[in-house]
Homo-oligomer: A and B are copies of this chain.
Amino acid sequence: MSYKVTIADIAKELNTTAATVSRALNNHPAISDETKHRVAEAAERLHYKPNKIASSLRSGKSFSIGVIIPSAEINFFGSVVHGIENLANINGYNVLIYQTNESRDFEVKGLETFLSARVDGILASIAKETSDYSHFIDIKQRGIPIVFFDRANDDLGISSVVVDDYRGGYLATEHLIEQGYRRIAHISGPQHIKIFNDRLKGYMGALQAHNIKVDFDLVYAGDVSIEAGKAAIKHMMELPHPPDAVFAVEDFTALGAIKELKDRNIKIPEQFGVIGFANELFGEHITPSLSTIDQQTVNMGKESFRLLLELINTNKSKAGKEAKLQKVVLKPVPIFRQSSAKR
């Protein structure tokens, strides 16, 4: 008893045809204003709701996109999705979300789901576990518009929106140097993920630019987690020459470091400086408040959707032409708070 009314019913009501009603509803230029008004009135009166499914089947456009994220629990991705949804809804697109929980198998399942849903395009951030990218290549070869965001891979010929992680790492490290810290450590993330590798490179770049030799004792192979941050401090403070500051690959890692430093009664920022990466929500509210690098999350979402929409539209118009590869690199924004305020 719910979705009964169709354009045929409206047509019957007005002694015209479904085609005319369809055109009127879609504001087709060839339809007279009077007909449009009569159709609009009848549609309203009969509580007509367009059936997008039927429309999609016929037109081949679903006006929906799929978004693959590693985890909705990570604030960062929630925030990017927020940006995506904003622009998508404005442009009349629905958004399907699929979480991979960092697993490649779920990534594949998500893509299948999106294929079956006949999404018009896909935005994806690659799972940590993924090292075989054939499922993404498959999507590309099917001609389905796809754009990576944040966790991208440059070797696949797929457009992407990322922050300049090298520059972020560079700025974070340089800030610690300028604050007067002397032995600056880095707690890194899994190096097969490009963004984490870039942050490490940025760290090294900043040290070298300031004529500081990179000491690999001070580069701890960590991860994005409180535990990794604690473990890193535990390990490094036992070194013959312990560090007096750390750039952590992510805010949660930095938080772990701060917790462990506090447990050891090491004063932040006086004796030890800390800076993270991501600008997670909690950083502003902990004590000491956490210096960090903002990744322009909402912007990243909007840019990703904008790029995808471009692909979708060029795909549609010039069916033959290959859409050009694009790479949008957002500038990271340093946010300096108490945890690194030595001066």
Residues of A at the B interface (CB closer than 8 Å) are: 1-3, 49-54, 56-57, 62, 64, 72-73, 75, 78-79, 81-82, 85-86, 89, 94-99, 112-113, 115-118, 142-144, 255, 281-282, 285-287
Contact = CB atoms under 8 A, between A and B. Distances in A.
14 contacts: A2-B142, A2-B143, A49-B116, A53-B53, A53-B62, A54-B57, A64-B117, A72-B78, A73-B79, A73-B82, A89-B99, A97-B97, A281-B281, A287-B287
Contacts of A99: 82, 85-86, 89
Contacts of A78: 72-73, 78
Nearest to A52: B116
Contacts of A98: 89
Contact of A94 (B50, B73, B113): B113
Given A3-B142, A53-B118, A94-B113, 6 more contacts: A3-B115, A49-B112, A49-B115, A64-B117, A73-B82, A255-B285
Nearest to A290: B285
A54 B75 CA distance: 36
Nearest to A117: B52
Contact of A117 (B2, B75, B94): B94
Contacts of A281: 75, 281-282
Nearest to A83: B72
Contact of A51 (B52, B73, B118, B255): B118
Q: Which of A75, A86, A285 has the most CB of B within 10 A?
A: A285
Nearest to A258: B285
